[in-house]
Structures are given as C-alpha cells and as structure tokens.
Amino acid sequence: MVIQLVVQVVVRGHLRRSCCRRRRNKIGDRAVVVCMSMKSSLLSLPGAVPAEGVDEGVAAHYGDLFREQRALADGIGFVDLSHRGVVTVTGDDRLTWLHLLLTQHVTDLPAGRATEALILSANGHIEHALYLVDDGTTVWMHTEPDTQDALIAYLESMKFFYRVEVADRTADFAVVELPAGSIAEVPEGVVVRETPYGRDLFLPRADLESYAEKAGPAAGLLAHEALRVEQHRPRLGFETDHRTIPHELGWIGTAVHLQKGCYRGQETVARVQNLGKPPRRLVFLHLDGSEVLLPPHGTELRLADEAPDGRKIGFITTSVRHYELGPIALALVKRNVPLDAPLMADTTAAAQEVVVEP
C-alpha cells in the first residue's frame, strides 16, 4: 500500500518534500521526519509486530526474537526488506557512467557479481549507500527506506549525454534476504545479489506472499539487525551522521575502491588514506547484561573512570540483544580513545572490541 502523506524533511537546514508519516526522529544532529512509502503485505503473517522509525512498514519480529535469530544463523528462513528502495539503471553506458559517480570500481563489473558503493558529498561525507548487482542489461540496487527519491534526483542531474535511464522500481519489486547457507529456491527470472551474508532477491512485489509460503519461517528486522551488529556491518543513518567519512566505518575496500578515477569526495578519501587518520572509528561493544533497557541510538559515551558529566567521547549507533552474545552494540568513538578503555553509555557499562583500527 502506498502512503501519500506529504510532509517536509529537514536535513542540515534544507527542506525536502516526500511521502512520509508525521513522525520525528533524530540521526546524529539531523532532524528528520521518518518516512514510509510501502507497507508490507507480510505484516499479516501470524505474530507480526510492526517495526518503528525508519524501518516502519515491515515486521520487527514475529513473536520470538531469539528463535528468529537462531534460524537465520542456521541458514533457515528469510527477512522481509520490502520497505527498502529499489532503483535500476539501464542503457549501454550504465556501468561506465556509474563508475564516474560511485566510490566503487564498476566499469567491468561482471554480470551477477554483487558489490557495494557509496555516494559522497563534495567534502567526502557519506550521502548514500548502495547495494548493487548487474544482471547483464540492468544495474539493480537497493537503498535505505525513502532515500531513493534523493538518490534518483542526484543521478538524473548527472546524466548529461550518457545513454542511461534511471527508474524507481520500489512499487514493483520487494527486497527479500535469504541468510547465508540457505537452500531455499529462487524463482526463475528473479535477480539475485549474493554476498557472504546471504542472498538479496529483487522479487516482484506481487509475488511476496506466495514466496513467503515457500521460503520458510519469516524473521523480523530485529533479528536481521542483531546479526548485522555481530558482523560489524555499518548501516547508513545508524552508524553515520552528517559528517561521517568512509574510513571511520571500515567501508574502505568493501564499498570504496582506492585505485579508480575521480568521483565526488575522492579528495577527502585520498587525503585521509595517504596523509592522515579519520577523526573517529567504529567499535563493537559488549554491554552490561544486567541492564533492563538497551541504550538507544545517540546515547553518549564516556570513559568509565570519569564522572557522569565527563568528556563525551562518542555515541551508540545501534544496540541489540543477540541470542548468544547478549546485549551488544556498534558505536562511533574518537580515534584517540584507548583500545582497552572501559566505557559507559549513560548508566550501562560497555567493553570495546576493535572494528576500525585507530
């Protein structure tokens, strides 16, 4: 179902009109109206509890969070990601054109090979994270919910004389993820993006319910997020704020290719790679399991040996409850924070594991 509420989105002082719900959220220091353009038909499955915030429109869980995590870890079931944006690029020049705009080397991307890429601002800050595959005639990509409009607007502004066509296919196709190790069959003709973490299917939206009946038990977004945090994988809008650069999150190598030509923001990437260090780094945290509540996104971090009003050295980006590890989180901290320093997230003690080297 398409939601037709038009409200304003405030990002770094600028307004953008979009189809959104009237719910406010905060990512870093950006005030945003949380948007939802599609509501999944799988919310009618037994036990489905709707997700909130940017993931509104799909299920947070189906009644048993830890069972759903275990199933995914064992390669069983699927995750409904049908709220994510789907964008395609067709035309003879699609790969050479995208190569000029993205942080990834895609000129010779073989058909069927999955990759990740970013679009940066002129100052090297992350604006979009794209998850791509080319099927031989079309580049398929999925993006964070309700970011496809801004992405398409940018791509359209850069077409010039290139033989490319950009399309929003979110209304027609739903992203479904099969976990690593899954033996579930993929319907003939469905585009697949295969990674070490599983297979992303670009499934015709009309087939979503029928496929769910065959693909095994559904797992919600909370289970998917718990495994993402365990795997140290950053997510746009969670691990990023308005000033995040790729080095801070470990996206160099996976989403940023260092041996390619110019793209917007490349100067920052090259300068940090060759001459300096990023100001912050992503860390994995083991949280005190005796606390009832998880520290939410944006909770400030301090050194454990400092007073509650002590110096702030970072913030929680994502916190989850894992079926084996208990409460865990990802966080961004200042680069000079000692690797072995115990931390506090408000009243919750946290122990670090290195994700990005200082």
pLDDT digits (tens, 9 = 90+) for 201-224: 999 999 999 999 999 899 999 999
> pLDDT tier at 286 (50, 70, 90 boundaries)?
very high
| Pair of tokens at residue 354 | 């290195």
Say whether pLDDT at 18 is over 90: no
Cα–Cα distance measured from residue 256 to residue 119, given in angstroms and rounded to the nearest whole number: 10
Residue (of 278, 290, 309) closest to 350 by Cα position? 290
Residue 106 has pLDDT above 60, yes or no: yes
Determine the topology of domain 6-83+173-230 in CATH: Gyrase A; domain 2 (3.30.1360)
Q: What CA–CA distance (Å, rounded) separates 246 from 130? A: 13
Q: Give the Cα-Cα-Cα angle 286, 291, 295 (nearest 5 degrees).
A: 65
Q: Is pLDDT above 90 for 84?
A: yes
- Beta-carbon contacts of 104 under 8 Å, excluding residues fewer than 6 positions away, are 115, 116, 117, 118, 132, 255, 256, 257, 260
Domain boundaries, the chain: 6-83+173-230, 85-168, 280-358
In the chain, % of residues over pLDDT 70: 90
35 band by pLDDT with thresholds 50, 70 and 90: very low
Q: Report the topology of domain 85-168.
A: Alpha-Beta Plaits (3.30.70)
> How far is residue 117's CA from residue 87's CA, in Å, rounded to a whole number?
14
- Angstrom distance (rounded) from CA 55 to CA 75: 23
Please list the residues that pair with 287 across neighbouring strands.
350
With beta carbons less than 8 A apart as the criterion, state whether 214 and 185 touch. Answer: yes
Confidence class of residue 26 from pLDDT cuts 50, 70 and 90?
Answer: very low
Q: What is the CA radius of gyration of the chain?
A: 20
Residue range 340-347: average pLDDT? 95
Give 297-324 pLDDT, tens digit per residue: 999 999 999 988 889 999 999 999 999 9
Cα distances (Å, whole numbers) of residue 235 to 109, 298, 339: 23, 14, 23
Q: What's the pLDDT tens digit per position in 112-155?
A: 999 999 999 999 999 999 999 999 999 999 999 999 999 999 99
Per-residue confidence (pLDDT) for residue 216, from 0 to 100:
86
> Does residue 34 have a pLDDT over 70?
no
Model confidence, pTM: 0.89
- pLDDT score for 237: 97
Question: Which has the closest alpha carbon to 227: 320, 131, 130, 353?
Answer: 320
Strands across the sheet containing 198-204: 191-195, 198-204, 173-179, 78-80, 218-219
- Which class is 280-358 in CATH? mainly beta
Token readout for 103 is: 């942080």
Q: How confident is the model at residue 37 (pLDDT cuts 50, 70, 90)?
A: low
Which amino acid appears at position 341 of this protein?
A: A
Contact criterion met (CB below 8 Å) for 162 and 97: yes
237: left (phi over 0), alpha (psi -120 to 50) or beta: left
Average pLDDT of the chain to the nearest whole number: 90
Q: List pLDDT tens digits, range 222-261.
A: 999 999 999 999 999 999 999 999 999 999 999 999 998 7
| Model confidence band, residue 171 (pLDDT cutoffs 50, 70, 90) | very high
Evaluated on CA atoms 61, 67, 197, 233, the torsion sign reads: positive
Q: Is 36 helix (H, G, I), strand (E, B) or coil?
A: coil
Q: For position 307, what pLDDT does the model report?
A: 87
Question: CA-CA distance, 343 to 333, in Å (whole number)?
Answer: 10
Q: Residues 6 or more apart from 13 whose CB is under 8 A from it?
A: none
